[in-house]
Amino acid sequence: MPHVPTTRIKRHKAAIKRSDYSRPVKCLWRDRFITPDRTLFDYGCGHGDDLAGLREDGVDCEGFDPVFRLDVTPQQADIVNIGYVLNVIEDLDERRRTLSKAWSLTERVLCVAARVVSSWADQIKGVTKSKGSGLNSVRAGIC
């Protein structure tokens, strides 16, 4: 059973299963930041689907997730990806600490992705709602 931190937002539900790379990893590939001779650390890797694909493609990578990969110690890497992590941290100080930790692990490139804009239509449909300094997704009972 995964460890689920006690927070108002059910962060573990934001970790979706993927059959393809996440958008941040696709962009890192496209722009040739990810190469087989560079290491990558995925800070907040969820289920680890990006990691599995990267390993198949010959990339030396590892990842940490506070629910699904708690046993992995965050480690330095050429590239650190912190994709769609900050937007599920409701506490501003924790968000700052998390970003600072990711930066401290980075040797060459830090990739940060977060959902920070909600369309009027999303709010009308109830897909997202404003909360504090960010947005909460209502998808799959995350909040």
Residue 6 lies in a domain: no
Residue 1 lies in a domain: no
Q: Which residue has the tokens 């108002």?
A: 8
Share of the chain above pLDDT 90, in %: 52
pTM of the entire predicted model: 0.74
- The separation between CA 38 and the C-alpha centre of its own chain, rounded to angstroms, equals 19
Could you tell me the residue range of the domain that residue 16 belongs to?
11-141
Asked if 21 and 30 count as a contact pair (C-beta separation under 8 A), the reply is no
pLDDT of residue 82: 96
Name the pLDDT band for 140 (thresholds 50, 70, 90): very low
Average pLDDT of span 58-66: 95
The DSSP string of 72-85 is SPP--EEEEEEET-
Asked if 54 and 25 count as a contact pair (C-beta separation under 8 A), the reply is yes
- The amino acid sitting at 21 is Y
pLDDT of residue 44: 92
Residue 67: pLDDT over 50: yes
Taking all residues of the chain, what is their mean pLDDT, rounded to a whole number?
80
Residue 2 lies in a domain: no
pLDDT, tens only, 87-135? 778 788 999 999 999 999 999 999 999 876 655 555 555 555 555 545 5
Residue 77 lies in a domain: yes
pLDDT, tens only, 10-22? 544 454 556 678 9
Which CATH number goes with the domain that contains 34?
A: 3.40.50
Number of folded domains that form the chain: 1
pLDDT of residue 69: 87
- The amino acid sitting at 134 is G
Residue 4 lies in a domain: no
Task: Return left, alpha or beta for 100; rule: phi > 0 is left, psi -120 to 50 is alpha, else beta.
Answer: alpha
Residue 31: pLDDT over 90: yes
Question: Can you name the residues that pair with 43 across neighbouring β-strands?
Answer: 64
